[in-house]
Amino acid sequence: MSRRSTTTMAAVALVCAVTVLAAPGAAYAAPTPTPTPSPSTTPGNKDLEAVRAKIDKLYHDAAVATDEYNAAEEKAEKQSDAIVKLAQKIADGQDRLDRLKSSAGAVAREQYRSGGIPRETQFLLSGDPQHFLDSAGRMYQGQQATKNLLSQLADTQDELARYADDASARWKELDEGAKDKAAAKKKIERQIDEAQELESTLEKKERERLRKLEEQAEQQAQTAWLSSGVLKEINGRATPAGKKAVQFATAQLGKPYVWGAEGPKSYDCSGLTSQAWAAAGHGIPRTSQEQWKQLKRIDIKDMRPGDLIIYHDDASHVGMYIGDGAIIHAPRPGRTVTVAGAGSMAILGVVRPDA
């Protein structure tokens, strides 16, 4: 069982025992649109090209679902932390309530012992008016203290009720998030299984040709991007934090892509970028879509190493720019963290974690 699951279960148990998620800004496009061009095909390649297109779509859909899964996971972690904090507040409030009840009980017992005799009667029975007046003053102070005590008691009870309601609502959200995560997981696995099954039907030579077609498409896209002259305009130098992020990402080269993974042995695309920037001292959103929404957008000509390039219209992929027209990214299932051309996929825009 994971630490997160254990923490959540402990928090919920404690709650039960004591109580009987920025609008995106303007987009910046690449200087020249760079849609992925289709490689030239011969009649013998047409069927294989159709297979490549279908596999690409399946992995793309799996990437979108992975972002949904990661978003649900991140939300669940925050909800779990909130439940833990609420549980501690409820426990502290219950202790305070118990102390207040004990104090109120002591006051009630004292009043019972005094017989609750009115002050006028005490005055008539007293042979010493000054003594009575002194006693009356103390009695008034006691009454005020009792009033304050009862007020604190009522406030604490109301506070505990609010905490309990909040904890219940967050637990419901956590349960709904778990269902969303399970649905996203099912979608991811279905898309990946279908893509891998499709690949497995190919002969070894066909799989090799398929890989070459993929590389050819990426190279042609990168060539078209570089031919736009954009690289001549990019002169940005990495910040100290950017250098640390690039160093972290570089150290992950060769590690496998695993959806939902954020290290240290494997990564998905946004798991790599978020962990790289965490290592550089800057926490950023977990998913590529949230990175696109929340981080500062910059013009591609102002790009510098460490910046993140967001790909596809739905912001379903992200890579880290490392300079000289290249990125480090975790591509997809069956691949490893690698260096690729920054223009080898359709660029949506660039964001800067340390702006």
Q: pLDDT tens digit string along 191-247?
A: 999 998 888 888 888 888 888 888 888 888 899 888 888 888 788 889 999 999 999
pLDDT of 37 above 60: no
| Interval 158-200: pLDDT, tens | 777 777 777 777 788 778 878 888 888 898 999 999 998 888 8
Q: Assess whether 269 carries a catalytic annotation.
A: yes
Mean pLDDT of 300-326: 95
List 60, 131, 269, 312, catalytic entry:
269
At 85, give phi and psi (nearest 5°).
-65, -40
Order of strands, sheet of 296-298, starting from the edge strand that comes earlier in the sequence? 296-298, 347-352, 308-311, 317-323, 326-329, 338-341
Q: State the average pLDDT over residues 52-61.
A: 89
Across residues 68-82, what is the average pLDDT? Answer: 83
16 is catalytic: no
Model's pTM, two decimal places?
0.64
Taking only the tens place, the pLDDT of each residue in 327-351 is 999 999 989 999 999 999 999 999 9
Q: Which of 60, 131, 312, 329 is catalytic?
A: 329
pLDDT at site 288: 96
**Residue-level pLDDT at 12:** 41
Residues contacting 246, CB < 8 A, separation 6+ = 238, 276, 305, 306, 320, 322, 328
Enumerate the β-bridge partners of residue 338. Answer: 329
**At a CB cut-off of 8 Å and minimum separation 6, what does 181 contact?**
69, 72, 73, 76
Non-local (6+) Cβ contacts of 62 within 8 A are 187, 188, 191, 192, 195, 259, 332, 333
